[in-house]
Amino acid sequence: MRKRFGCLLMIVLIMLIAGCSERPHEELPPELEVVEDKPDRIEETIANMSLRQKIAGLIIIGLEGTSVNTRIKQMWAEYPFGGVILYERNYIRDDWLKDFISELSDLSKPEYPLLICIDEEGGAITRLPGETFPAAAELALMSEEEAYHVGQAMAKKLTDFGINVNFAPVLDVNIDPRNSIIGSRSFGNDPDLVSAYGIALFKGMESGGVVPVGKHFPGHGSTLADSHVELPVLEKNRDELFAFELIPFMKAVEAGIPMIMTAHIVVNGIDDKPTTMSKTMIDILRNDLGFEGVIITDDLEMGALTENYSWKEIVVETFMAGADLLLIGHDYDLQVEAVDILEEAFEAGLISDERLKSSLRRVMEMQDESF
């Protein structure tokens, strides 16, 4: 009897197993599914870059001329820079500029597209002919919605040319009316108003496919000296800075601005070095404001730096302070020398491969999200 029962039990089990095998495959609930790790595109791209490509890829340069000539091709073959900034000197005709930008873009690898940058703030600071946009001070007389639409219109004009990065909005609070550097470039003397209109403008640009850049951290609005010529000093301590100048930057960071530009100004209550070269100031942006995006410098050739520091000091200390992208807008010799200087600093152990990778990753993540 016991044997017969055992046989019957085996037959039932076999039938059940056979029945289960005929059922269609049932998907596991999402929490039980095994997800295969996808390759990290950015990590793979960086791993395949030479030291020269990594370093040059973190420098934005200005060029002479209106076309990609043999000299520029040879230059890029040796120094594959990460981007260019365009000036009025690069423009003759609309179609020529479009061709120039297209040819420049072809110099870079598809997985690491060139950053094509411009200062198109509106008002007096405009680089392109044709339709002009209101200065920030004029925008502040409109509604925030209108400012957003101006940002969209800016993006449309820029992307039509192939430009993907705009050094705007200006987030400086125009505190001192004697300040001739900022003036109508600022939305006004109220940090909350500057915040609201700065965010509206940059969100409009973003919606049109252009990377906006908030500038000039930590705020140029109460300085009187022109950093193009000399080194401005901001007579503020940390608490005073957080109570006023930093408010638009804090709110822009909270709103998700992808890139911020540093100013060549000394905040003498915090550090005796210009913000661009100050790790203490960059740490405020990273740690206190929580900014995880790309930090770009203002032009390193400006007199605020070159009249007070050697080129080697400027380049090495700026990068070691925490800047991701170094902007060098004019001098070919200084542009290639900057690459050589950073290579020497790497070989000397002052700059690690991890430090290079962290900046490259920020830039490439921004490109993935924006382009």
d(CA 370, CA 165): 10
Q: Are 215 and 246 a contacting pair, CB within 8 Å?
A: no
Q: What is the spatial distance between Cα 113 and Cα 82, in angstroms, rounded to a whole number?
A: 8
Which residue from 95, 129, 116 is spatially nearest to 164, judged by alpha carbons? Answer: 116
3-class state of residue 313 by DSSP: helix
Active site residue 220: no
φ, ψ at 111 (rounded to 5°): -80, -10
In 123-237, which ranges are E strands?
A: 165-166, 211-217, 233-234
Question: Of these residues, 192, 228, 272, 283, which one is catalytic?
Answer: 228
- Residue 334: other Cβ atoms inside 10 A: 18
CB 330 within 8 A of CB 62: yes
Q: How far is CA 75 from CA 68, 109, 122, 161, 336, in A?
A: 11, 15, 32, 23, 9
To 10 degrees, what angle do helices 332-347 and 70-78 make? 10
Point out the catalytic residue in the list 172, 298, 299, 324. Answer: 298
Residue identified by tokens 């990273």 is: 286
CB 214 within 8 A of CB 283: no
CA atoms within 13 A on the CB side of 272: 2
Burial class (CB in 10 A: 0-12, 13-18, 19+), 266: buried
Whether 176 is catalytic is: no
Measured in whole angstroms, the distance separating CA 31 from the mean position of its chain's CA atoms is: 36
* Residues carrying an active site annotation: 228, 298
